[in-house]
Amino acid sequence: MENVLLIGLGNPGVEYTYSRHNSGFLIVDEIAKAVSSSSFKRSGGFVEISSFLLDRYKIILAKPQTFMNLSGRAVQFLIQFYKIPLNRVYVFHDDIDLPFARIKIKRGGGNGGHNGLKDIDKTVGSEYWRIRIGVGRPMEKTMVVSHVLGKFENEQIYKIQDIGKFISENLNVLLSENYKQLEQQLNL
């Protein structure tokens, strides 16, 4: 059985629940719902996890309960505890450089100024999978923080949830690293 980590980035607290910055949490929540996974439980004091089996994989779903800029601590704890190689770590996160609901998947690379990714890179390295979820860019650079911490509209929440459902139905494609096919289908 091979351990795989699917981790959604976000901020803890009800005030951030449907914020653009919590896109990763929303995706991981939808995957958990779609696979009828048990509820999330606190682990290590700073991360919520849930797990399920899929073919030859044990999938660990995770939501760090640190704030975004301290996400690396949770990733490090989980990969050490479950002995997960970086090439089996999939990080779902918001991206202002992509139009709303566009998805890009790649392994390794830069952090694009994303504080959660910066901390993960600094803590465990950068050779993990990144699933970038487009939230769009505000008109002015000075509005970036308020934009990512701002709430999605209801229709946008449903769209992000649909993306999470689609990913859950196609986890084998993602795990087979045939991500271009998945990316194309998500971006139709």
Q: CB neighbours of 171 closer than 8 A, spacing ≥ 6?
A: 31, 54, 59
DSSP symbol at 160: H
Q: Which two tokens stand for residue 171?
A: 């986890």
Q: What amino acid occupies position 149? A: L
Q: Which residues are known to be catalytic?
A: 21
- Alpha helices by DSSP H, listed for 20-108, are 23-34, 71-82
Q: Which two tokens stand for residue 97?
A: 């450089």
d(CA 118, CA 71): 9
